């Protein structure tokens, strides 16, 4: 568990905290089993992760996501660069996840590749 948030995490937290985002209660740095979720909305069973470059192609993150999904959580991952430069896309994805309470929604659990633009993302 880190005390210092990245710039992207601070930006996302400023949007999610205090029920500012669609009146949903998000918490940050939440223990879930042996893992720590960056942000969690427990009522929606939604975990939001802000990933830096060290998470690219991470087998650890993949197994972590599978375990969290087995606990009936949905996991959304965004690259830090997405959060900073494609805020609207990130927020739209979060809105869609919160609007669809199904545990296996069609939303991706992996972030876009770092070089990929939001227009190339499938609907």
Q: What is the mean pLDDT of residues 58-74?
A: 89
Confidence of residue 56 (pLDDT cuts 50, 70, 90): low
Going by the DSSP 8-state scheme, the letter that residue 107 receives in this structure is S
Measured between alpha carbons, how far apart are the two ends of the chain, in Å?
34
**At the topology level of CATH, where does 7-115 sit?**
Endonuclease; Chain A (3.40.960)
- Alpha-carbon distances of 41 from 79, 113, 117, 122, rounded to whole Å: 19, 25, 27, 25
Residue 35 has pLDDT above 70, yes or no: yes
52 by DSSP, 3-state: which?
Answer: coil
Q: In this structure, what DSSP letter does residue 6 have? A: P
Q: Binning pLDDT at 50, 70 and 90, where does residue 103 land?
A: low
Please name the helix (run of DSSP H) or strand (run of DSSP E) that holds residue 59, with its range, or none: helix 59-70
Please tell me the predicted confidence (pLDDT) of residue 60: 84
Structural domain boundaries in the chain: 7-115
pLDDT tens, 10-28? Answer: 999 999 999 999 899 999 9
Predicted TM-score (pTM) of the model is 0.78
What is the token pair recorded at 97? 């996840």
pLDDT tens for each residue of 71-91: 999 999 999 999 999 999 999
* 3-state secondary structure (DSSP) of residue 35: strand
The mean of the pLDDT values for the chain is: 82
Which bin fits 23, alpha (ψ -120 to 50), beta or left (φ > 0)? left
């Amino acid at each position: 568990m880190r005390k210092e948030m990245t710039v992207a995490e601070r930006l996302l937290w400023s949007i999610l905290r205090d029920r500012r985002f669609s009146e949903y209660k998000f918490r940050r740095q939440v223990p879930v089993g042996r893992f720590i979720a960056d942000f969690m909305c427990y009522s929606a069973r939604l975990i939001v992760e802000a990933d830096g470059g060290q998470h690219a192609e991470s087998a650890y993150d993949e197994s972590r996501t599978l375990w969290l999904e087995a606990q009936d959580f949905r996991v959304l991952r965004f690259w830090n660069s997405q959060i900073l430069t494609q805020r609207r896309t990130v927020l739209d994805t979060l809105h869609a996840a919160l609007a669809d309470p199904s545990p296996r929604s069609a939303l991706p659990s992996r972030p876009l590749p770092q070089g990929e633009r939001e227009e190339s993302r499938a609907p």
